[in-house]
Amino acid sequence: MSDNQDLVNNIKDGNNFNQENKAEVYQADNGMKINIMDQEGANLATEALRGQGSITRGPNTVPQQPPHGEDNPKYKSMGGDRPSLPTAPGESFNDKDYRNPDNRNNSNLGPTEVSSTMSASLGNMDVRSKELREEDSHKTERDNYNNKYNPGMTNTSKFGGSDALARQDELKKELTKETPTKPFFDLEFGSDEDDGKKPRDLHQEALDSNAKANEGFDPKSKLSNTGRSFFENEDVHGENAKLREDIEDLRMQIAELTKKFDDPNALQDALDPNRPRPLNPLEEVQTTLLKEEDERQRKFAQDVENERKLHDPLYQAVPVTPEVPPVTPEVPPTTPEQDKKLRDFKTAALIAGVVAGGAAGILGGAAVGGAVAATAGVISIGGRITNHFLGRSLTRIEAQIKNPETDSETKANLERRKTNLQKIQNVVQHITKFATGAALGAGISTFISNVAMGGHGLVWNRPEVPGGLPGVNPEAGIGKAGLEKPVGGGETPLPASPETYPGNSFIHDGRVDLPGSAWDGNWANGPAQDTLAGGAENFANYAGGPSEMAASQLGQDLASNNITDQLLTNLTTYDKHRLLTQYWDAIRAGNANPELIETLKNMNTEGAQKLLAAIGK
Partner 1 sequence: MDYTTEIENIKNELKAIGFDDSKLNQLMDLATEEILQAAIEELGEKADDATLEMVAQEVDKPVTTAEEATARMSLIFEKAYGPEAENKKNEMFLDYLKQTLEATKSAKDLYNRYQTGDPSAVATIKAQEGNPDAQQVADMM
Residues 539-578 that bind partner 1 (CB under 8 A): 543-545
Residues 6+ apart with CB under 8 A from 481: 473, 526, 536, 556
Measured between alpha carbons, how far is residue 330 from residues 335, 344, 588 in Å?
16, 23, 27
For residue 383, state whether it binds partner 1 (rule: CB under 8 A): yes
Q: Smaller CB distance to partner 1: residue 247 or 354?
A: 354
Check: CB of residue 446 under 8 Å from CB of residue 422: no
Longest CA pairwise span in the chain (Å):
172
Is residue 293 left, alpha or beta, with left meaning phi > 0 and alpha meaning psi from -120 to 50? alpha
Could you give the count of Cα atoms lying within 13 Å of 40 in the half-sphere of its Cβ?
4
Select the residue interacting with partner 1 from 417, 480, 485, 508 (CB under 8 A): 417
289 binds partner 1 per the rule CB under 8 A:
no
Residues 455-484 that bind partner 1 (CB under 8 A): 455, 458-460
d(CA 420, CA 424): 6
Which range of residues in 12-20, 102-110, 381-389, 560-568 is near partner 1 by CB under 8 A? 381-389
Q: Is 538 in the site for partner 1 (CB under 8 A)?
A: no
* Residue 373 touches partner 1, criterion: CB under 8 A: yes
Binding residue for partner 1, selected from 11, 28, 279, 452, defined by CB under 8 A: 452
Q: Toward partner 1, which CB reaches closer, 241 or 451?
A: 451
Identify the residue among 160, 161, 353, 521 touching partner 1 (CB under 8 A). Answer: 353
What gap in Å lies between CA 334 and CA 422, rounded to an integer?
Answer: 10
Q: Are 543 and 549 in contact (CB under 8 A)?
A: no
| Residue with Cβ nearer partner 1 (270 or 424) | 424
- Which residue of 385, 401, 469, 592 would you call a contact of partner 1, by CB under 8 A? 385
Smallest separation (angstroms) from partner 1 to the CB of 536: 17
The whole-angstrom separation of Cα 289 and Cα 284 is: 9
SS3 27: strand
Sheet holding 18-20, edge to edge: 18-20, 23-27, 33-36
Which residues face 57 on adjacent strands?
60
Establish if 93 lies at the interface with partner 1 (CB under 8 A): no
Q: What minimum distance in Å lies between the beta carbon of 441 and partner 1?
A: 8
Q: Is 381 in the site for partner 1 (CB under 8 A)?
A: yes
Q: Is residue 597 close enough to count as binding partner 1 by CB under 8 A?
A: no
Q: Where does this chain touch partner 1 (CB under 8 A) — which range of 89-97, 154-162, 256-264, 588-596?
A: 588-596
Does the footprint of partner 1 cover residue 421 (CB under 8 A)? yes
Under rule CB under 8 A, residue 444 binds partner 1: yes
Contacts 24+ apart (CB under 8 A), 113-121: 113/57, 113/58, 113/59, 113/60, 114/57, 115/21, 115/57, 115/58, 117/21
> Are the C-beta atoms of residues 21 and 117 closer than 8 Å to each other?
yes
Establish if 437 lies at the interface with partner 1 (CB under 8 A): no
Q: Where are the alpha helices (DSSP H) in 381-519?
A: 393-402, 408-436
Q: Which residues contact 241 (CB under 8 A, 6 or more apart)?
A: none
C-beta closer to partner 1: residue 543 or 613: 543
Query: Which of 586, 600, 608, 612: binder of partner 1 (CB under 8 A)?
Result: 586
For position 236 contacting partner 1 by CB under 8 A, the verdict is no
Q: How far is the CB of 274 from partner 1 (least distance, A)?
A: 12
SS3 55: strand
Between helix 573-588 and helix 606-614 the angle, nearest 10°, is: 90
Footprint of partner 1 on 203-222 (CB under 8 A) = none
> Is 450 one of the binding residues for partner 1 (CB under 8 A)?
yes
Least distance (Å) from partner 1 to the CB of residue 313?
43
- Applying CB under 8 A, the span of 178-186, 230-238, 436-444, 464-472 interacting with partner 1 comes to 436-444
Q: How many residues lie near partner 1 (CB under 8 A)?
A: 90
Query: How far from the centroid of its chain's Cα atoms is residue 605's Cα?
Result: 48
In the complex, minimum distance from the CB of residue 140 to partner 1, in angstroms, rounded to a whole number = 59
**CB nearer partner 1, residue 206 or residue 543:** 543
Tell me, residue by residue from 386 to 405, as one string, x for binding to partner 1 by CB under 8 A and - for no binding.
x--x-xxxx--x--------
Positions in 319-338 near partner 1 (CB under 8 A): 336
- Residue 585 engages partner 1 in binding (rule: CB under 8 A): yes
